[in-house]
């Protein structure tokens, strides 16, 4: 049974012009001809229909599990003379979304595709959805035409454009001239009051809600709302990469930023210095924290919203994705009653999630755990967590001094940033405490060198350091658009690959937002400080000697672990190279 792929309104117009359905053919006959069902199934369904008057044949076949919703809808489309379309790559005209109220479109999964010859063309899953049809009749009085499309594709296109509905409504609703202080000659306090009034209006509230909820649905870690010369650009950081979402009118910026300040508990009248705030929202059964940062720029106030899903701070150690040998090594190390375990990597490499997973694992043995963090990203039941305050002079180092008098078994230091913190943490590890912390280093071996550079004596590093986990987050191929990767000879030479090895990459589809990637996984190298390696550290051995010793003892370099993933088709060779590790 045929479906039609449309990518723009011109192709849609051509399809509607030439499409001719078969309205006289029975639904059962169409399903038989398409080999979706056989004669026995059809007769059984017709017998049920005779007994249950008023029940549609399609409903019966669905209840029997004889057809899928898509198979049924394709047959219905042909019977009713309605095109069944695939719209995953459809580019919406700029005015299409303004034809229907946002809440109506979202609630009923109706996608306005554009106006053709005076008629609004809408995509729906089923022509028998009475609720959706009634909503259309109430909210759009002009002529309409319908095409049918898979439910998930309608939702995907609609979700990707969700906040554009609300941006249009907000722009129409706001009295923008009154926000222009120069025209109106308003005082600073009057302007701040006006901005607060505008920020509380429903269209602005809906717009910001849509931007945030869309980010959550796309599993974004951050939202960037950046003012430019003529507009405001919205970006989402997804799988570690910034992706452009949409442009907003520059006129909306004051109200959007004011709304962010309100929900983040910031000073709405202050526009000259950076501010930070915090909000918490509930999404179903999920509790999500929003960390809001606002910085004034010459083009206007720029905002970044960090999205922290509380579930991310509750990932079990075995679910992080470590290789089995590395996982066993980590589990063995955290059984120690004293010493130092470090998780290293650049910003955004998943260090905090790994640290919290270690804490959850250690917590099982009823240990007294104290943490000092900046900020406390996830709250953990049964763990005493302290947030530093540099403004009040309460630093990592000063918190650690107090911790040593508070009888802890385990101390988590959010980050070792300076020599003082490094020395106190090392002292704690030397005097009967298990210390967990993070450092910014490129690999496991350079962590040892970094500690020495911070002023810790080599004999102390060699005697207190238990384990180093150096990690990155590598993007995974989208499994729905996987194709063979044509690897160049230069890349094969650089990565020392067999000329006959086959690798894969993803070309991009609507499921991965056309990026070719969906989700990320930890890639790590785990360095266990054995007696032999400890001796070399104490002797002041060079980096190359330490690496040689670590490899002999079984440490698998990060790049090798990444290549294992690439050989399985889970990631691309481009991602392996992008790790930037040897």
Fold classification of 4-151 (topology level)? GMP Synthetase; Chain A, domain 3 (3.30.300)
Band of pLDDT at residue 201, cut at 50, 70 and 90: low
Report pLDDT digits (tens) over 354-388: 999 999 999 999 999 999 988 888 888 899 999 88
Model confidence pLDDT, tens digit, residues 252-293: 999 999 999 999 999 998 899 999 998 888 776 778 889 999
What's the pLDDT band for 171 if we cut at 50, 70, 90? low
Please tell me if the domain spanning 4-151 has the same topology as the one spanning 315-475+521-558: no
pLDDT at 389: 78
Q: Residue 226: pLDDT above 90?
A: yes
37-82 pLDDT, tens digit each: 999 999 998 988 888 877 888 888 988 888 888 888 888 888 888 8
Q: Which CATH number is correct for 315-475+521-558, 3.40.1210.10, 3.40.50.2000, 3.40.50.300, 3.30.70.920?
A: 3.40.50.300
Domain boundaries, the chain: 4-151, 161-311, 315-475+521-558
Which of 10-24, 431-445, 491-505 has the least mean pLDDT?
10-24
Beta bridge partners of 290: 279, 307
Provide the token pair at 266: 């910031």
What tokens appear for 105 in the block?
């479109």
pLDDT tens digits, one per residue of 301-319:
999 999 987 776 678 899 8
Burial 258-274 (b: 16+ CB within 10 A, else e): bbbbbbbebebeebeee
Q: Confidence class of residue 168 from pLDDT cuts 50, 70 and 90? A: low
Q: Which CATH architecture has domain 161-311?
A: 2-Layer Sandwich (3.30)
Task: Please name every residue paired with 280 in a beta bridge, in sequence order, or none if there are none.
Answer: 289
For the chain, how big is the Rg over CA atoms in Å?
30
CA distances from 38 to 3, 44, 68, 75, 106 (A): 21, 10, 14, 15, 37
Asked if pLDDT for residue 178 goes beyond 50, the answer is no
81, 68, 92, 64: which is closest to 127 by C-alpha?
81
Question: SS in 3 state form for 423-479?
Answer: HHHHHHHHCCCEEEEEECCCCHHHHHHHHHHCCCCHHHHHHHEEEEEEEEEEEEECC
Q: Which residue has 């109706």 as its token pair? A: 110
For the cut 60, the answer to whether the pLDDT of residue 173 exceeds it is no
pLDDT digits (tens, 9 = 90+) for 477-534: 998 889 999 999 888 988 889 988 999 999 887 678 778 999 999 999 999 999 999 9
- What pLDDT is stored for residue 82 in this prediction? 86
Is the Cβ–Cβ distance between 373 and 458 less than 8 Å? no
Report pLDDT for 480. 84
Is residue 145 within 8 Å of residue 16, measured between CB atoms?
yes
Give percent of the chain with pLDDT exceeding 70.
89
Rounded-to-integer distance, Cα 105 and Cα 512, Å: 23
Question: What pTM did the predictor assign?
Answer: 0.70
Identify the pLDDT of residue 177: 39
User: pLDDT-derived band of residue 156, with 50, 70 and 90 as boundaries?
Assistant: confident
Q: Is the pLDDT of residue 182 over 50?
A: no
Q: List Cα–Cα distances, 330 to 129, 210, 291, 325, 414, in angstroms.
A: 54, 41, 31, 9, 19
Q: What is the average pLDDT score of the chain?
A: 85
pLDDT at 476 over 90: yes
């Amino acid at each position: 049974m045929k479906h039609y792929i449309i990518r723009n309104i011109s192709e849609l117009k051509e399809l509607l012009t030439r499409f001719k359905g078969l309205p006289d053919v029975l639904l059962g006959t169409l399903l038989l001809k398409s080999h979706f069902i056989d004669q026995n199934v059809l007769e059984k369904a017709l017998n049920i229909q005779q007994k249950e008057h008023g029940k549609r044949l399609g409903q019966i076949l669905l209840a029997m599990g004889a057809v899928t919703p898509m198979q049924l809808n394709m047959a219905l489309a042909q019977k009713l003379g309605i095109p069944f379309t695939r719209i995953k790559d459809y580019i919406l005209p700029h005015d299409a979304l303004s034809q229907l109220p946002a809440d109506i479109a979202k609630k009923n999964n109706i996608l306005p595709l554009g106006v053709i010859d005076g008629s609004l063309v809408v995509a729906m899953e089923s022509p028998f959805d009475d609720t959706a049809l009634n909503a259309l009749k109430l909210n759009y009085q002009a002529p309409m035409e319908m095409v049918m499309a898979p439910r998930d594709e309608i939702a995907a296109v609609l979700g990707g454009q969700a906040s554009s509905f609300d941006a249009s409504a907000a722009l129409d609703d706001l009295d923008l001239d009154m926000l222009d202080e120069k025209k109106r000659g308003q005082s600073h306090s009057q302007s701040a009051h006006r901005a607060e009034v505008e920020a509380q209006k429903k269209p602005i509230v809906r717009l910001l809600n849509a931007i945030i909820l869309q980010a959550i649905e796309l599993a974004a870690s951050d939202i960037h709302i950046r003012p430019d010369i003529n507009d405001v650009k919205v970006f989402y950081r997804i799988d570690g990469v910034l992706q452009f979402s949409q442009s907003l009118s520059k006129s909306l910026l004051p109200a959007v930023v004011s709304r962010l300040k309100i929900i983040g508990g910031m000073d709405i009248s202050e526009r000259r210095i950076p501010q930070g705030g915090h909000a918490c929202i509930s999404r179903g059964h999920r509790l999500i924290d929003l960390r809001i940062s606002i910085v004034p720029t010459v083009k206007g106030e720029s905002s970044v919203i960090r999205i922290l899903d509380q579930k991310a701070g509750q990932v079990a150690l075995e679910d992080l994705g470590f290789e089995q040998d590395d996982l066993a090594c980590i589990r063995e190390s955290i059984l120690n009653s004293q010493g130092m375990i470090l998780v290293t990597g650049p910003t955004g490499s998943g260090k905090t999630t790994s640290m919290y997973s270690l804490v959850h694992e250690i917590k099982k043995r009823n240990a007294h755990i104290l943490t000092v963090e900046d900020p406390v990203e996830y709250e953990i039941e049964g763990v005493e967590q302290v947030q530093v305050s540099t403004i009040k002079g309460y630093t990592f180092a000063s918190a650690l001094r107090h911790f040593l008098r508070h009888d802890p078994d385990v101390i988590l230091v959010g980050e070792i940033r300076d020599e003082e913190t490094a020395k106190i943490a090392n002292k704690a590890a030397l005097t009967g405490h298990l210390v967990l912390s993070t450092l910014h280093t490129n690999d496991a071996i350079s962590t040892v060198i970094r500690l020495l550079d911070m002023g810790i004596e080599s004999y102390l590093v060699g005697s207190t350091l238990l384990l180093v986990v150096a990690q990155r987050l590598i993007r995974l191929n989208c499994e729905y658009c996987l194709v063979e990767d044509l690897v160049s000879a230069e890349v094969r030479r650089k990565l020392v690959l067999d000329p006959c090895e086959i690798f894969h990459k993803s070309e991009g589809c609507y499921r991965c937002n056309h990026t070719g990637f969906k989700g990320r996984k930890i890639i790590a190298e785990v360095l266990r400080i054995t007696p032999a390696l400890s001796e070399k550290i104490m002797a002041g051995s060079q980096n190359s000697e330490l690496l040689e010793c670590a490899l002999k003892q079984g440490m698998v370099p990060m790049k090798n672990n990444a290549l294992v993933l690439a050989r399985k088709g889970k990631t691309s060779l481009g991602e392996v190279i992008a790790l930037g590790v040897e």
